[in-house]
Amino acid sequence: MTDVVSVSELPPSEDPSDATQEATPEGLETSSVGKPHGRKHRRVKTWLKVIFVALVAALILRVFAFEAYRIPSASMEDTLLVGDFLFVSKLHYGARTPITLGIPFTGWYLKDFELPAVRLLGFASVKHGDVVVFNYPPDHAPIDRKMHYIKRVMALPGDTLSILEKRVVVNGEELPMPVEARQFWRATAEDYAAMPLRDSLSALGFTGRMDRLGPGEWLFEGTTDQAQVFSAFDGIKNLEPYLRLRGDRSATFPSGGGYSLDDYGPIVVPRRGATVTLDDTTWRLYREVITRYEGVTAQRVAGGFEIAGALTNQYTFQQDYLFVMGDNRDDSADSRSWGFVPASHLVGKAVLIYFSWDSVERRPRWGRVFRGIG
């Protein structure tokens, strides 16, 4: 399986206000009639006030309303492409107040100083299928300084999730595959049939991988619609989803779970107020939640488990969590690899692509501008 490097990291896009230069007043001059240029200094002062107000307004909007991001990797293809610029709404789920203090629009902040986070009231709740931006949980940094990831919500707090031969099942119901989601397909060719040339595939809009698996067998990466087109090529005998061996441990969360990226679970997503009985299985699944994201001292002891200094096999979760996946199902580091997303790490909902740049062709993708994200 291809390694994924910073699959869904989303650094903020360049803000034009960063390039604003401070106006520097020049030395006093006298006009032809001998009067000081007091009017010029008043204009400079006015412009400085305007720039200051604009920066403050931009900062407020960035913190509490909308923020711009750029997609640097392929984990959400074809829903989101590398080079897409998008707006993320913090109003939907409620903005999170700053946790650290630093210089706006820079990476500098005061170390060892954190404010209590407060989630403001939003006008919507997180739903299955929402595309969300969040701070990457495993990072070792204050929450609001962790790198940004973008994924699709598969399971909500309290849900039971399973993956059966790539099909995501939540609470007994299969979730539909996003229309533009990619996955691996196994193509079997007729005897001596030649596979379509990569250049020919590119001309038809195929941009994913195509690797030879063996005699007459190929690995093809694409959407369901692309797979249907591919299966119609001359010489293609069969095309089916590529499935890893069940229990091959390609899914690294939870540690020792023995799951595959294509066959996973069932697991229950932690919900605030829900109590879980700890045993070998649930301890592997929820240990990081308890000790890292909820900050509770917990360990295994001879008699079972010690939670916050008390011997018990029961634990009640303090916040909600999400299970997320990338739309590029076979090329995404997501909850199958590193675990749940705490509610405290949620940034906002991706709502609009406002610009898109194709770095290979070195031109804008005008067809993606002002396109909604769903």
99 and 212 together in one domain: no
CA angle (359, 364, 370) in 5-degree steps? 125
Tokens of 315: 């634990």
* Among 195, 217, 241, residue at a domain's last position: 241
Structure tokens at 76: 């959400």
Structural domain contains residue 270: no
Rounded Cα–Cα distance for residues 315 and 275 (Å) = 5
With left for phi above 0 and alpha for psi between -120 and 50, is residue 77 left, alpha or beta? beta
Question: In terms of domains, do 75 and 131 share one?
Answer: yes
Instruction: Say if residue 232 is in the same domain as residue 138.
Output: no
167-170 sheet: strands from edge to edge: 173-174, 167-170, 160-164, 264-268
126-133 average pLDDT score: 97
> Are 49 and 119 contained in the same domain?
yes
- Asked which of 241, 259, 286 is the last residue of a domain, the reply is 241
CA distance 174 to 162: 9
Both 59 and 120 in one domain: the answer is yes
**Is 127 part of any domain?**
yes
Distance in angstroms (rounded) separating the CA atoms of residues 318 and 211: 46
Q: How many beta carbons lie within 10 A of that of residue 296, not counting itself?
A: 14
Greater pLDDT, 358 or 202: 358
Q: Which of the four pLDDT bands, split at 50, 70 and 90, describes residue 74?
A: very high
Q: Are the C-beta atoms of 133 and 150 separated by less than 8 Å? A: yes
The answer to whether residue 304 sits within a structural domain is no
> pLDDT tens, 174-227?
999 999 999 999 988 876 556 665 555 666 667 777 888 888 888 889 999 888
Looking at the structure, tell me whether residues 191 and 143 fall in a common domain: no
Residues 148 and 191 in one domain: no
In a domain, 279, yes or no: no
Summary mean pLDDT of the chain: 86
CATH at residue 203: 3.30.70
Here the CATH number for the domain that contains residue 137 is: 2.10.109.10
Residues 204, 105 share a domain: no
- How many Cβ atoms sit within 10 Å of the Cβ of residue 241? 16
Torsion sign (Cα): 337, 270, 121, 109: negative
Measured between alpha carbons, how far is 176 from 153 in angstroms, rounded to an integer?
A: 12
Angstrom distances, CA of residue 345 to CA of 49, 93, 118, 317, 320: 35, 12, 12, 16, 10
Would you say residue 50 has pLDDT above 90? no
Q: Is residue 297 part of a domain?
A: no
The proportion of the chain whose per-residue pLDDT surpasses 90, expressed as a percent, equals: 65
Output the six-digit token pair for 166.
């790539």
Q: At 343, is the secondary structure helix, strand, or coil? A: helix
User: Do 116 and 6 fall within a single domain?
Assistant: yes
Q: Between 86 and 32, where is the model more confident? A: 86
Q: What is the pLDDT of residues 221-251, one digit of tens each?
A: 999 988 888 888 877 888 899 999 999 999 9
The answer to whether position 102 is within a domain reads yes
Same domain membership, residue 98 and residue 43: yes
Q: What angle do CA 368, 144, 328 make, to 5 degrees?
A: 40
Same domain, 1 and 148: yes
Give the DSSP H/E element, type plus range, for residue 353.
strand 346-358
Tell me whether residue 278 is in a domain. Answer: no
- The contacts of residue 341 (CB under 8 Å, 6+ apart) are 134, 137, 151, 321, 322, 323, 324, 335
Which of 215, 241, 267 is the last residue in one of the domains?
241
Q: How confident is the model at residue 35 (pLDDT cuts 50, 70, 90)?
A: low
Does residue 123 register a pLDDT over 70? yes
The total domain count for the chain is: 2
Q: In 19-39, which positions are buried (b, 16+ CB within 10 angstroms) versus exposed (e)?
A: eeeeeeeeeeeeeeeeeebee
Tokens 């697991």 identify what position?
A: 267
Question: What's the domain range around 226?
Answer: 183-241
Is residue 77 included in any domain, yes or no? yes
Amino acid occupying residue 174: E
Question: Is 49 in the same domain as 103?
Answer: yes
* Model confidence pLDDT, tens digit, residues 325-346: 999 999 999 999 999 999 999 9
